Amino acid sequence: MTDHCVPSVFPDVYVLQTGAGSGQWNMEFDALLMRAFSEGLFERRFGAGAVLWRFYTWKPSAVSLGYSQRADVVDYQRCSDAGIDVVRRPTGGRAVFHADEFTYSFLARTEYSNADVYRLIHDVLCTGLLDFSVHAVFCRSDPDFRQHYRTGHAASCFSASARYELQADGRKLVGSAQRRTGGVLLQHGSLMLTERYRRLHELLVSGHSQTESRQGSVPEESSVSVRELTGRVPSYDELCRSMNGAVRRLWGVEPKALDARDIESLF
């Protein structure tokens, strides 16, 4: 974790706290943000080099699939019966069950590499989590994902950690993914607050195949939630305050608040 402020990483940092939304609304809003950056509308309004954090949650709970993941891994009837949304993310990776979690999106038009942005964002998350006595670290190695995707756990995003993803006690704590279009980068990720995300295996198609089946449960040894680490679940407002404070301390800028109407007014 970075232990000093890195001034002027980004000249202006905006924060959008949209709270709870449906799966469709959340993913459509991320797509709208990507469009605002890709068309230059965000920088035209808020300044060249301005970046945006968005913090949100999910209501009702949802299963999201990675951009290129097969849709038939999901048991749509079971999800419907349980009142659970099914959506596709604009970023890659595997399926995630969004239940009790804190989700972020980060958007920037930047020349920083994907890996550099990944580390900068995770520095902020690490620092914010210290407020809750969660000591997260970077994963320093990559699994062989080609081999991993042949196993029974391959359908789940939380079954393995990639380099620079966040771990605690040697287990994955935050799952993040990226998409770059031209010079615009979208990164978003999920911080699991309770163990409910492990119910993903109940929402996948039984016996679909060796690699995409209900055997794809999220093993306890590979992932962990905040509640398992601390015995409590921080509120959405607490987490937003901590992440804003971490941006302030690490990046040397004061985050500026926006709301959804500010983005919608760009179009």
CA distances to 6, 136, 166, 227, 241 from 169, in Å: 27, 8, 10, 13, 25
SS3 51: strand
In the residue annotation, 5 being an active-site residue is answered as: no
Q: How far apart are CA 252 and CA 246, in angstroms?
A: 9
Q: How far apart are CA 208 and CA 215, in angstroms?
A: 10
The number of helices, as runs of H, and strands, as runs of E, in the chain is 8, 11
Length of the chain: 267
Q: Which residues lie below 8 Å from residue 144, measured CB to CB, with a gap of 6+?
A: none
Q: How far apart are CA 8 and CA 109, in angstroms?
A: 15
Query: For residues 128 and 165, is the Cβ–Cβ distance under 8 A?
Result: no
Report how far apart the first and last C-alpha atoms of the chain are (Å, whole number): 38
Catalytic residue among 126, 139, 157, 240: 157
Q: How far apart are CA 243 and CA 28, in angstroms?
A: 23
Q: How far apart are CA 209 and CA 196, in angstroms?
A: 24
Bridge partners, residue 52, by sequence: 14, 107
CA distances to 12, 23, 219 from 90, in Å: 25, 12, 26
Active-site positions read: 157
